[in-house]
Amino acid sequence: MTDSDLTYVTPEMHAAQGRWNDARTAPPITGTDIKRWAMATFYPEKPPRIFWDVEYAATTQWGGIVAPPDFNPFAWPLERPKPAAPGLMGARPDGKAMTGMNGGQTDTYGVRMRPGDVVSERRRLVDWWEREGRLGHTLYVRNEIEWRNQDAELVRTRLSIGIRY
């Protein structure tokens, strides 16, 4: 194999490209979940009242409590999802384990999450590219994660890039 033939792209990646995985669903969101998330993320400051004060929140454009945009209803799962199949992560032809790091992400927000919402998530492998870098041959993998509420309204879309070498 010549250097120009080197690839970390696997047949599993080709087969999975563009295909959504089976959705997983978070437990219903509670007002307490939102309040605790806000307290943790705004600490040591007091969080905005829209995230915890029911009477105040009723007077806002939202008409009630809403979650901060970065709220994660999947943060405390009883069962962790299985990691992606190794073939979807890329593979080194020499059999050595790949090293990976986060290459960044972009979130686009839709409707706000509220108490009582049930959010489902699905993921897909969008695309990839390879190049030579200072760490050697490197694989960049772009994934998409989509969250929708019980009314099928888009809550959030995340495009993320994983870097593997």
Residue 127: inside a domain:
yes
**What is the count of structural domains for the chain?**
1
Residue 33 has pLDDT above 70, yes or no: yes
Q: For residue 113, what are the domain limits?
A: 3-29+73-164
Residue 59: inside a domain:
no
Residue 49: inside a domain:
no
Residue 34: inside a domain:
no
pLDDT at 3: 59
Beta pairing partners, 154: 148
Q: 97-128: per-residue pLDDT in tens? A: 889 999 999 999 999 999 999 999 999 999 99
Residue 138: inside a domain:
yes
Domain of residue 141, CATH code: 3.10.129
The pTM score is: 0.86
Residue 39: inside a domain:
no
